[in-house]
Amino acid sequence: MRWVRVLVDGRVRFGVLREEGQVQLVAGSPFAVEEGGAGAPGAGGSRAPELEPDGPPLPLAAVRLLAPCTPTKIVAAGLNYRDHAQELGLALPEEPILFLKPSTAVIGPEEEIVLPAMSRQVDYEAELAAVVGRRCRNLSPDRVPQYLLGYTCFNDVTARDLQRKDGQWTRAKSFDTFAPLGPCITDEIDPDDVAVELYLNGERRQSSTTRNLIFSVAELVSFVSRIMTLEPGDVIATGTPSGIGPLSPGDVVEVAIPGIGRLRNRVRG
């Protein structure tokens, strides 16, 4: 299933993206609202409730794609690719290195990344992101998949100069528009073996695979869930591979992951 969140006739709706380039709107939301498990033995969980189609399929051109979820928080992993650690000459971490991005940073496909006046170097970072489907905490890695709605593309836009200046990451990661998400959420990929690429003005700048992750998606989500409760729609960003670089006004940046699609954003100064 490839879930999308769209604006149609002035309303925000959820739908399923079909191969033929159509959107089938559904009645309701794929995100479960009830408690999905507190780590108790035998606690249940499911990826999404069953939803009925609502009306005939619509052509993709008839809707506006939005960010596919509205997270209460984005929990991101730093230095989680072996090739990125080698690029920076850093030792592999013994545990995941985490930071938060605010929900106010989220934008969707085709929305503009706005470069802040207080930064002189803003970088792209292509990532695979896991999207929580049901409220959960204290998950073991083997139980993680049943609590995820699926996976989407993420661009962890970062003010690199401010990251170096501050010695920590909050300001550098948190500007409005610094968390592009989309275009859809799918459960039809293998998160342990999928390519992650980034294109800047049509030129490939990042290219790796999640086989190079230091901590797998399941290990990462499990680790985060033992720290904080995860809510439906929350995003766990899994880190970026080597090849990060700067953005300039007028650039078009695309995160590409097979089975999910391309997350395309233009950059504005």
Q: Is the pLDDT of residue 61 over 70?
A: yes
Contact, 96 vs 80, CB < 8 A?
yes
Lowest mean per-residue pLDDT among 28-37, 142-151, 195-204, 255-264? 28-37
Residues 6+ apart with CB under 8 A from 102: 73, 74, 174
Q: Is the pLDDT of residue 136 over 50?
A: yes
What is the rounded distance in angstroms from the CA atom of residue 252 to the CA atom of residue 169?
25
Structure confidence at residue 39 as a pLDDT band (50, 70, 90): very low
What is the rounded distance in angstroms from the CA atom of residue 100 to the CA atom of residue 226?
15
DSSP letter for 144, please.
Answer: G
Question: Given the structure tokens 């275009």, which residue do they identify?
Answer: 183
What is the rounded distance in angstroms from the CA atom of residue 256 to the CA atom of residue 269?
24
Query: What is the structure's pLDDT at 92?
Result: 86
Residues 6+ apart with CB under 8 A from 168: none
What is the rounded distance in angstroms from the CA atom of residue 239 to the CA atom of residue 241?
7
Could you read off the pLDDT of 4-33 as tens digits, one per residue?
A: 999 999 999 999 999 888 999 999 999 976
Residues 6+ apart with CB under 8 A from 166: 172
What is the rounded distance in angstroms from the CA atom of residue 192 to the CA atom of residue 184?
19
Tokens of 72: 């209460």
Question: Given the structure tokens 């002035």, which residue do they identify?
Answer: 10
**Mean pLDDT estimate for the chain:** 93
Query: What is the structure's pLDDT at 122?
Result: 98
Query: What is the structure's pLDDT at 36?
Result: 47
Contact, 106 vs 67, CB < 8 A?
yes
Structure confidence at residue 34 as a pLDDT band (50, 70, 90): low
The pTM for the full model equals 0.94
What is the rounded distance in angstroms from the CA atom of residue 100 to the CA atom of residue 53?
35
What is the rounded distance in angstroms from the CA atom of residue 81 to the CA atom of residue 97?
12
Domain limits, the chain? 69-268
Cβ neighbourhood burial of 10 (10 Å; 0-12, 13-18, 19+): exposed
Average confidence (pLDDT) over 40-57: 68
Q: What is the CA radius of gyration of the chain?
A: 18
CATH number of 69-268: 3.90.850.10
What is the rounded distance in angstroms from the CA atom of residue 176 to the CA atom of residue 173?
9
Q: Is the pLDDT of residue 185 over 50?
A: yes
Query: What is the structure's pLDDT at 21?
Result: 87
Query: What is the structure's pLDDT at 258?
Result: 98
User: CA dihedral defined by 115, 116, 122, 125, rounded to 10 degrees?
Assistant: -70
SS3 223: helix
- Chain centroid to CA 151: 7
